[in-house]
Amino acid sequence: MGAAIVFFIAFVVIATIAVNVGLRGWVREESRREAHFDDPRTHTVAFGIPAGVDPTIIESALMHAGLDCEVGRVGMVECVRIECAESQREQVRRLLEDLHLRGFDGSELDTSHVVFEDER
């Protein structure tokens, strides 16, 4: 009985340390990505997330196309910030226009003309 208690306590301690180390690495990686996106030398475009749309749909399509992105605020607008060169701007626009976005209520949203936040 005593060995089982010692084994259980050791397991809990090791599991707690493993979770903490994993979370610490994840937080550091997210901080690094955020600092990269906030760096003025990193060229980004911001696409305002339409009301009622899950941003992970947009993020996954962009990441599948090989573009790095993150969700964040630009001014007072919740946006997907996309890292791309100025020459890729139209490619990103076409990619976003080809998405079939649905709101949380199931309604189809019109994305036939994408406007980035710096173009407003």
Give CATH for domain 43-120.
3.30.70
User: What sign has the CA pseudo-torsion 84, 87, 89, 91?
Assistant: negative
Mean residue pLDDT of the chain comes to 91
Q: Is the pLDDT of residue 104 over 80?
A: no
Cα–Cα distance between 89 and 33 in angstroms, integer?
21
Asked whether 88 and 66 are in contact (CB, 8 A), the reply is: no
pLDDT at 120 over 90: no
Q: Where are the domains of the chain?
A: 1-42, 43-120
Is 111's pLDDT higher than 90? no
Reply yes or no on whether the pLDDT at 105 is more than 90.
no
With bands split at pLDDT 50, 70 and 90, how would you rate the model's confidence at 44? very high
Per the DSSP assignment, residues forming a β-bridge with 69 are 82
pLDDT in tens, 73-98: 988 999 999 999 999 999 999 999 99
Q: How far apart (Å, rounded) are the C-alpha atoms in residues 53 and 78?
A: 11
pTM of the predicted structure, to 2 decimals: 0.75
The reported pLDDT for the residue numbered 94 is 93
**Residues in CB range of 35: below 8 A, 6 or more apart:** none
Query: Sorting pLDDT into bands at 50, 70 and 90, what band is 50?
Result: confident
